[in-house]
Chain A
Amino acid sequence: MIYSDYSIKFDRTGFPLIQLDGWSHFIGLFPVSKYQFERFLVDDEASGYTDEWYRGILELNPRRSWRKTGDRIWELFITGLDRDVIDDFLGYLGPDYRLPSLDEWKALLEVSEYIAEISPALKMICNGRSPEPVLHWLEAGLCPLMREGIFERIHGIGNKVAGKPFHGLLPNTWAPEELKEVKMDMVRGMIGFRVVRE
């Protein structure tokens, strides 16, 4: 399939969201990263989150320098957040941000190869508007990371996740677009999210 046109917007952390022709929404090119989430943590709007709390979150999925894209790439992305924390983060981004619906998530999955192909053009668009990790990850081909990234939360669905597991602990044969029912407590450290802007 050939996609003739797309638009890019940036959230307040400088991370890019994409809209293809025919879509009414923009969706994050990456799952929300730790670097991006930390923009929120240092903002006055996040004053309730302590160092102890964040270190607890990082125990589930350790932090990794954004410069290291060779392996263990899941460590670049924030996982293990409760829904109320995710809501705080979405509120920080703006009132028109939410989790993606399953259809929106699948629509991005469908064009993921195309997005990987246009990464050089996306890098040019992001240059000067996005922080360094975005440019580095686009260069390294880490976009949009739907087939080999992390589990992702879907809007309106509490105990099921989309995406492909990254740990050898779980079956790695599932199709990423098929929602999986998981025990949230057991796989909490593997579940992240990406954002949609209306």
Chain B
Amino acid sequence: MSEIMNLYCEVKFTTPVILVLEPSSALWADILRVATEIIDSFPGRVKRVYFLGQKEHEPVRTSGDLKRDGPRWLRRGIDRPILINPILEELKEEKFTGIIVIVSSRLPLDIEDWEGTDVPGRMIFVNMGDGEIEGPCRVIGRSNINLEIAPLMNIEPGEVFVSGDGFVPVNYSVEPCRSSETVFRDGEFILNIEPSSERLKIHLAAICGDRFPELIIRRHNGTEKVSFREEKPWFNQEWNRIPDDLREIIKSAAETGKFRCPCCGEKHDADTLICPSGDLILRGLPAGRCILFRGEEYISLTHVHAYPLEDGKIITSEGKIYRLKDDGWEYLKDVEPYERVADDLFGLFYKI
């Protein structure tokens, strides 16, 4: 049996923000006011401040950092040419996909270099000048900054899912979410998630390939991958004792393909799950999902998606058997009633 890994990941969907300020001595008081307002309105999301015309950045945690150290940072590059290429190139290098807010009275001279890329679509220009500005990015005024900027500050994910080579979800808890479902597509098992809040926590018991699966967050402007980490084992598949009155039926059906019906006394084929007299035969076992039998025990795949078999095979809760090949999972067949799926293991998709 393949090992089932216990994994965890946590993610926040809030989009990180970078502030880029004009190094203008004449406008500094106004620029500081607007920048402070933005930092205070989106706590924890602005972690860096750049000045146009400089490639270095300064870390900020609160607006107090900017108020305290801003004048010193400003002096270093005061009135320098308003260029943004070194900043955007650094952000591109580190695959930053968040929002870039430019607080300036003039568009950067080199902003045209980024036309045709996804960058202008993630840029908000706060116009600190008196004249109108038209540019490749969204331009907003400096008054009512909160009202204007708030709707632009998030890039909602279009798709959120877990995938990976050899990955099969066995059991998971995803909170909070509107829905989650496992789908099989092009040789891969994918756990699709529809989050319902900005923060998502996933506990995942899974069969994995050589590497852990990843949480993939797709937005219109790029894809973010979040790694899972191993956590203290919490998932445990408990076997149950087969009810006494069913033990002989199951044993006989598995070994001979027939069993004597406890309802009518006749012999039925193994695939008879309801006696012609109308009674349920496996009364007491959970229906609607695959059940595995081993000796005098059974396990129902009611609350798990899959169970690992031998030779790189798995069986899903729908009773479908797959095998892992070099290019992904291959569907083999649906399990037959009481089919031997491993050395001492018999499967049944108990659908009535």
Given the known interface contacts A42-B86, A66-B113, A67-B115, the answer about A51 and B79 at a Cβ–Cβ threshold of 8 Å is yes
Q: Which chain A residue has the least Cβ–Cβ distance from B113?
A: A65
Q: Is A86 interfacial (CB-CB < 8 Å)? A: no
- Of B55, B81, B113, which one neighbours A54 at CB under 8 angstroms? B81
Q: Are A49's CB and B81's CB within 8 A? A: yes
Q: Is A24 interfacial (CB-CB < 8 Å)? A: no
Query: What are the residues of chain A within 8 A of B116 when measuring CB–CB?
Result: 67
Query: What are the residues of chain A within 8 A of B83 when measuring CB–CB?
Result: 38, 41-42
- CA gap between A38 and B85 in the complex, in Å: 9
Query: What are the residues of chain B within 8 A of A44 when measuring CB–CB?
Result: 76
Query: What are the residues of chain B within 8 A of A51 when measuring CB–CB?
Result: 53, 79-82, 106
Query: What are the residues of chain B within 8 A of A42 when measuring CB–CB?
Result: 53-55, 80-81, 83, 85-86
Category for how many chain B residues contact A: 20 to 34
Q: Nearest Cβ in chain B — how far from A10, in angstroms?
A: 16
Interface string of B68-91 (1 = CB under 8 A from A): 000000001101111101100100
Query: What are the residues of chain A within 8 A of B76 when measuring CB–CB?
Result: 44
Q: Is B110 interfacial (CB-CB < 8 Å)? A: yes
Query: What are the residues of chain B within 8 A of A173 when measuring CB–CB?
Result: none
- Of A38, A50, A64, which one neighbours B79 at CB under 8 angstroms? A50
Given the known interface contacts A42-B53, A42-B54, A51-B53, the answer about A63 and B109 at a Cβ–Cβ threshold of 8 Å is yes
Query: What are the residues of chain A within 8 A of B86 when measuring CB–CB?
Result: 39, 42
Q: Are B79's CB and A63's CB within 8 A? A: no
Which of A39, A51, A52 has the most chain B CB atoms closer than 10 A to its own CB? A51
Q: List 18 A-B contacts (CB under 8 A).
A: A35-B110, A35-B113, A38-B109, A42-B86, A44-B76, A47-B77, A49-B80, A50-B79, A50-B81, A51-B53, A51-B106, A54-B109, A55-B81, A63-B109, A63-B112, A64-B112, A67-B113, A67-B115
